[in-house]
Amino acid sequence: MSNLSIDGERLLARLRALGELGRGADGKLTRLAASAADKLGRDQFVQWAKALGLDVRVDRIGNIFALWTEATDPKAAPLMLGSHIDTVIDAGIYDGCYGVLAGLEVVETLREAGFTPCRPIVIAAFTNEEGVRYAPDMMGSLVYSGGLAADAALAVKGADGSVLGEELARIGYAGAEEPGFLKPDAYIELHIEQGPVLEREGLAIGAVENLQGISWQRITIEGVANHAGTTPMALRHDAGHAAARIIAFLHERASASPSGTVATVGTIAFEPNAINVIPARATFTVDLRDPNEECLAAEEQALAEYLKQIAQEQGVAISAERLARFAPVTFDAKLVAEIESAADARGLSARAMTSGAGHDAQMIARIAPAAMIFVPSIGGISHNPKEFTPETDLVAGANVLLDVVKRLASPRACGHCRPAPPSSPCCASAASCASAACETPPAA
Ligand code: HGY
Ligand code: MN
Ligand code: MN
């Protein structure tokens, strides 16, 4: 079974099919969490999982779990694979979906090959990883790992005024399982890098060893609406101008950061939003990230001080609401080494690296050893319909996932290995059972 590989065409066909679900009349792909479009993707994943004979469960926050329970020890803690299938607005087809569908492909390949895992294997599709409609992001895995109460998450009001719990019920994914009902033995997430590193260095695989900290805030500036033509510049309390100063401050500070801070203002709205009215109110979001916790906290502090300064200078009132705050995460070194050795065994170039993006793995790392496998993103582009990873890289990444899963679910990994019968050409003692060649599951 050592030269087993996934069925690349089957994986790619599913990726393309899922990528068609949730496209608007304009052809743009948008499957925001708990939307009707999200339901289309969810239903498709559930259908593929059930067709594979997997046991599909849904928890209260709508996380979907497809379980392969035919293991030599069905009661053992499961090996969890997965990611998310919700998307941002006008998205690419790989972010999240690749990891969920590669997990399905790995299970299908192992079942076809007659491999019996020593422990159950479960593929997770976590709710609302993107956080575009409901903050914070990685919400489903955050709730699953105990970082946010399910009831609090279900009550979250979305950017569109909807309530997450009501929306999940509406699309039929308000599940019965308690979040956290399966405690994974380990979690491996395969994902596109969404950044420029692997492509720039000509590498096939990233073994992700850590993930940067994330700080999301909503800033509201209360100025004074006034006539655009009659109000002298010195008498204005222009919420729009104050917002522009803050946005420029964030960009300049992050660009000069020695620790790689990144800052983004991705949404902004003015009120009353009229061409000839000085904005009375500006509301915008700030996404700050840094691999170093102290640096991230320092950036938050610098912003808080600048908000005070601008409020004073411009005669406006400024308030900040925290939407998400996650400290940097370090993944499990043994799993990272497994990933590197699996890539090496396939002759794939690899390096350890940091994730710039947030992922469900950073949440599941709170309850189990976790790590990630990256494949290159062309041009480092993501959260953009131009997001692209060559098919050879997609297949290579899924094969690395396959090999890591085989090792983590082999009899040896579960300590199930017993001395092979003396007649076996393999090994005659428990000690040599530890060798790769002697993975003999206990007699049925
Ligand atoms: O924001 C992120 O990094 C992730 O895509 N949710
Ligand atoms: Mn993602
Ligand atoms: Mn994303």
Q: What is the DSSP letter of 78?
A: P
Residue 190, pLDDT score: 98
Q: How far is the CA of 430 from the centre of ligand 1 (A)?
A: 46
The pLDDT of residue 428 is above 70: no
pTM of the model: 0.92
Residue 290, pLDDT score: 97
User: Which ligand 1 atom is at minimum distance from the Cα of 356?
Assistant: 3
* Chain CA centroid to CA 194, Å: 11
The pLDDT of residue 195 is above 80: yes
The pLDDT of residue 440 is above 50: no
Domain with CATH 3.40.630.10 in the chain: 8-211+328-409
pLDDT tens digits, one per residue of 103-121? 999 999 999 999 999 999 9
Q: Is 136 in the pocket of ligand 1 (CB under 6 A)?
A: no
Domain with CATH 3.30.70.360 in the chain: 213-326
> For residues 165 and 21, what is the distance between their CA atoms, to the nearest angstrom?
23
Residue 316, pLDDT score: 98
283: left (phi over 0), alpha (psi -120 to 50) or beta: beta
Residue 13, pLDDT score: 98
Confidence class for position 410, pLDDT limits 50, 70, 90: confident
322 close to 216: Cβ distance less than 8 angstroms:
yes
C-alpha distances in Å from residue 210, one per residue of 289, 291, 304, 327, 402? 13, 8, 27, 11, 22
Q: What is the DSSP letter of 22?
A: T
Confidence class for position 414, pLDDT limits 50, 70, 90: confident
Average pLDDT over residues 125-148: 98
What are residue 39's phi and psi, to 5 degrees? -60, -40
pLDDT tens digits, one per residue of 147-159? 999 999 999 999 9
Q: Is 86 in the pocket of ligand 1 (CB under 6 A)?
A: no
Q: How far is the CA of 358 from the centre of ligand 1 (A)?
A: 4
Residue 423, pLDDT score: 57
Residue 443, pLDDT score: 47
> For residues 392 and 139, what is the distance between their CA atoms, to the nearest angstrom?
32
Confidence class for position 413, pLDDT limits 50, 70, 90: confident
Residue 425, pLDDT score: 55
* Ligand in closest contact with the CA of 137: 1
pLDDT tens digits, one per residue of 339-366? 999 999 999 999 999 999 999 999 999 9
Domain range 213-326, CATH architecture? 2-Layer Sandwich (3.30)
Q: How far is the CA of 396 from the centre of ligand 1 (A)?
A: 24
pLDDT tens digits, one per residue of 199-243? 999 999 999 999 999 999 999 999 999 999 999 999 999 999 999
User: Which ligand 1 atom is at minimum distance from the Cα of 129?
Assistant: 6
Confidence class for position 421, pLDDT limits 50, 70, 90: low
Q: Is 357 in the pocket of ligand 1 (CB under 6 A)?
A: yes
Confidence class for position 415, pLDDT limits 50, 70, 90: low
In one-letter notation, the amino acid at residue 408 is L
Confidence class for position 411, pLDDT limits 50, 70, 90: confident
Strand ranges, E, within 16-70: 55-58, 64-68
Q: Which helix (H) or strand (E) holds 321?
A: strand 317-326
90 close to 65: Cβ distance less than 8 angstroms:
no
Q: What is the DSSP letter of 186?
A: E
Cα(first)–Cα(last) distance of the chain, in Å? Answer: 20
248 close to 271: Cβ distance less than 8 angstroms:
no
Residue 438, pLDDT score: 44
> For residues 64 and 68, what is the distance between their CA atoms, to the nearest angstrom?
13
Q: How far is the CA of 152 from the centre of ligand 2 (A)?
A: 23
Confidence class for position 427, pLDDT limits 50, 70, 90: very low
Confidence class for position 3, pLDDT limits 50, 70, 90: confident
In one-letter notation, the amino acid at residue 297 is A
Top-tier CATH class for 8-211+328-409: alpha beta
The rounded mean pLDDT for the chain is 94
Buried b (16+ CB within 10 A) or exposed e, 120-156: bbbbbbbbbbbbbbbbbbbbbbbbbbebbebeebbeb
